[in-house]
Amino acid sequence: MPPPADLLQGTLDMLILKAVVLEPQHGWAIAQRIQQTSENVLQIGQGSLYPALHRLEYKGWIRAQWGASENNRRARFYSLTAAGRKQLEAELANWDRLAGAINLVLARI
Partner 1 sequence: MLREAFTRLRFFFSGQSRATVDEELQFHIDRQIEANLSAGMSPAEARRQALVAFGGRERAREQCREQRPSWSLELFFRDLRYGLRGLLRNPGFTTVAILTLALAIGANTTIFSLLDQALLRALPVRDPGRLVVLSFAGDQDGHVHSDGGNSPGHAHEFSYPMVRDLRDKNEVFSGLIAAASHDVGITWNNRAESISAELVTGNYFQTLGVRPALGRLFVAGDETAPGANPVAVLNFDYWRTHLAEAPVVDKTLLVNGTPFTIVGVAAPGFHSMVWGRLPAIYVPITEQSVVLPDWSMLADHRSYWLNVVARLRAGIGPAQALASLNPLFHSLRAAEFSSLHDQSAEARKDFVTRAHLNLEPGAQGFSPTRQGMRTPLTIVMGMVLLVIAMAVVNVASLLLVRAATRAREFSVRYALGATGGQVMRQLLAEGLILGLSGAALGLALAPEALRLLIHWTAAGSGDTPPFAPTLDWRVLLFTLGIALLASVLFSLAPAVQFWNPRLVESLKQQSNSGAGSSLSFRRTCVALQIGFSLLLIVAAGLFVRTIENLRHVNAGFATDHLLAFDLAPELAGYPAADVAPVEQRVLDAVAALPGVRSVGATNDPDLQDDGTSGDVAVSGYTPPPNDDFDVELPSVSTGYLQTLGIPLLAGRYFNAGDTATAQKVAVVNQLFAQHFFGSVTAALGHHVSRPRLADTDAIIVGVVANAKHSSVRDPARATSYIPFAQSVRRSGLTYYVRTWQPPDTAANSIRAAVANIDAKLIVGDVRTLTAQIDNDLLTERIVALLAAIFGILATVLAGIGLYGILAYSTAQRTREIGIRMALGARRGTVVGLILREVLLLAGGTILVTLPLAVLFTHAVRSQLFGVSMIDPRVYGAAVLVIAGVAALAAFIPARRAATVDPARALRTD
- Interacting residues with partner 1 (CB under 8 A): 26-28, 31, 45-48, 50-51, 54-55, 57-60, 69, 71, 73-76, 83
Q: Please, which residue, 37 or 48, has the CB nearer to partner 1?
A: 48
d(CA 11, CA 7): 7
Backbone angles phi, psi at 65, to 5 degrees: -140, 145
* Distance between first and last Cα of the chain: 30
Beta strand pairing status for 25-26 and 62-68? unpaired
Q: Please, which residue, 73 or 108, has the CB nearer to partner 1?
A: 73
The distance of closest approach from Cβ of residue 30 to partner 1 in the complex, given in angstroms and rounded to an integer, is 10
Q: Please, which residue, 59 or 97, has the CB nearer to partner 1?
A: 59
